[in-house]
Amino acid sequence: MTDIAALQSEILADIQGAGDEPALEAVRLAALGKKGSVSALLATLGTLSPEDRKTAGPLFNGLKDAVAQAIGARKAQLADAALDARLAAETVDVSLPSAPLNSGTVHPISQVLEEITAIFADLGFAVAEGPDVEFDDYNFTKLNIPPDHPARQMQDTFYVAPQPGDQGAAHVLRTHTSPVQVRAMLAAGKPPIRVISPGRTYRVDSDATHSPMFHQVEALVVDEGIHLGHLKWTVEEFCKAFFEIDRIELRARPSFFPFTEPSLEWDMRCDRSVRGQIKFGTGNDWLELGGSGMVHRKVLENCGFDSTRYTGFAFGFGLDRMAMLKYGIPDIRSFFESDLRWLKHYGFAALDIPTLDGGLSR
Ligand code: PHE
């Protein structure tokens, strides 16, 4: 008869010797599998005499249980060892400094846009918007700019090639934010209107103080009894708030725009006698802010307003110019070159994001 004890110690040695799960599985099959040594032994029970079976049965089954138990224990051991090895291999050194976080900054134009919107919000103005690709009709015709007006000539305006779905309507890249006046009036249907509209504008032009894409902020107020005094007060309050000074001096020059009558251009007294510096409120120099005027009767009528009852004022100032002046930026084109060094220098910190090592990312 097979030496059960010898077989058991042989199998248990194999189990202990199995270095990983596949090896252990091979040992299991060799013992307990269909053709395994233990299974073969158990199969012989049927051939034994009842007498022998009585003693052999518990022995054989004891062997089977001992092997199964040893395999289970070894399996758990191997899994523990595998986990330990993984933990040892994948440790994280939490004392290492973290990789620097590169946070963005607010572009000066965005910053100025936010400042202006906040100032006008305090004065009760809402924000109105219009598209960059604008109807020729809103950019020009409804603003009383007749088809033969010089502002329509090719050197000023980017014309947009006809697109399917235009239904014959000509489009341009808006040359100013004034078409938003038309949109605001058509949308409101009736006064009172008090809106500003900051946004991108386009003209065929490029040098140190002109960029083919630039920004304007338009203001429009329409109601009963609106007069030039309201325009002057609004421009004054806005400039004081934007340039953060209490005492400013404004100068209004007569001007011409087809969509305002009378039309005025505003200058602000400044001192540029020291190179690279500008001071507001004193000095013998004047800084151009932009155009304005009382909304032309025809424009009100083109937008369905009763021009015998309502009047309004509007102005359109150059946003980039104001940003250049307030933050001392010499070349308008640098705003739009996406030079990261420039943006880091002139951009405004967006958020202070704490890094893991306790520093602040910039
Ligand atoms: N749209 C004019 C320009 O671009 C400015 C302006 C706006 C003038 C509103 C009068 C009223 O120059």
Distance, in Å, from the CA atom of 126 to the CA atom of 236, rounded to the nearest integer, reads 19
Give the pLDDT band (50/70/90) at residue 362. Answer: very low
Give the pLDDT band (50/70/90) at residue 101. Answer: confident
Give the pLDDT band (50/70/90) at residue 154. Answer: low
Ligand 1 site, residue 179, Cβ cutoff 6 A: no
Name the residue among 292, 269, 103, 126 with its Cα closest to residue 198: 126
Interval 295-334: pLDDT, tens: 999 999 999 999 999 999 999 999 988 888 888 787 778 8
Residue nearest to atom 9 of ligand 1 (CA): 315
Ligand 1 site, residue 292, Cβ cutoff 6 A: yes
Residue 94, C-beta contacts closer than 8 angstroms, at least 6 positions apart: none
Ligand 1 site, residue 318, Cβ cutoff 6 A: no
Query: Would you call 59 exposed, middle or buried from its count of C-beta atoms within 10 A (0-12, 13-18, 19+)?
Result: middle
Over residues 220-237, the mean pLDDT reads 97
What spacing in Å lies between the alpha carbon of 283 and ligand 1's midpoint? 27
- Using alpha carbons only, how large is the chain's radius of gyration in Å? 42
Ligand 1 site, residue 316, Cβ cutoff 6 A: yes
Assess contact for 219 and 234: CB atoms under 8 A.
yes
Give the pLDDT band (50/70/90) at residue 361. Answer: very low
SS3 202: strand
Report the residue among 145, 172, 176 best suited for mutation to probe ligand 1: largest number of ligand atoms under 8 A from its CB: 176
Atom of ligand 1 nearest to the CA of 263: 10
Ligand 1 site, residue 291, Cβ cutoff 6 A: yes
Interval 110-133: pLDDT, tens: 999 999 999 999 999 999 999 999
Ligand 1 site, residue 180, Cβ cutoff 6 A: no
What spacing in Å lies between the alpha carbon of 331 and ligand 1's midpoint? 23
What spacing in Å lies between the alpha carbon of 219 and ligand 1's midpoint? 9
State residue 114 phi and psi, 5-degree precision: -65, -40
pTM comes to 0.70
SS3 255: strand
Ligand 1 site, residue 260, Cβ cutoff 6 A: yes
Distances (CA, A) of 200 to 231, 311, 319, 358: 23, 27, 9, 40
Assess contact for 235 and 250: CB atoms under 8 A.
yes
Residues in the chain: 362
pLDDT number for residue 284: 92
Helices (H) and strands (E) in the chain, counts: 11, 13
Q: In what order do the strands lie in the sheet with 133-135?
A: 133-135, 171-173, 159-160
